[in-house]
Amino acid sequence: MKNTDTKEPDNLPVTPGYSLREGRSGYDPIDTQAEAGHVAGLYLRKLLTGQLRLKKPLHYMLMTLIGLLLVFPLISAIVLMTRGTRFEWDALLTLGLTALLGALFLLNCVKSALR
């Protein structure tokens, strides 16, 4: 019988818990790395699409702190540029991408708080 629901089946090598299936110790490095990569991909996809939801207050604080730390260098660079300091384009690009990641963290934190 074919699995018709939209969730991933439990027997795929990348699903969490696959390396602990019956008859396995869980120490297979290939299975473990595949699971870790799958979970990291899910986390990143949820972060980029704004669907990452938090449940614990400590997670809110950490995500807010990470977001602020990633956005702060761009804000500092903008303040310095208004005072006449010049930056190379690659430095601004790096700061912009870092700030974008920080903004995604802050966006997901705000969306989680409003949920």
Whether residues 38 and 1 fall in one domain? yes
Give CA–CA dist 98/76, Å, rounded.
13
So what's the pLDDT on residue 8?
54
Contact between 112 and 50 under an 8 Å Cβ cutoff? The reply is no
So what's the pLDDT on residue 1?
46
Whether residues 96 and 70 fall in one domain? yes
Give CA–CA dist 8/28, Å, rounded.
21
So what's the pLDDT on residue 7?
60
pTM: 0.70
Whether residues 63 and 86 fall in one domain? yes
- Helix, strand, coil percentages (3-state) for the chain, rounded to 5, are 65, 0, 35
Give CA–CA dist 17/12, Å, rounded.
10
In which domain, by residue range, is 11 found? 1-49
Tell me which residues of the chain have a pLDDT lower than 50: 1
Which one, of 101, 41, 35, lies nearest residue 68 by Cα? 101
So what's the pLDDT on residue 101?
93
So what's the pLDDT on residue 97?
94
So what's the pLDDT on residue 52?
87
Q: Which of 14, 32, 49 is the last residue of a domain?
A: 49
* Domain total of the chain: 2
Whether residues 37 and 77 fall in one domain? no
Whether residues 72 and 103 fall in one domain? yes
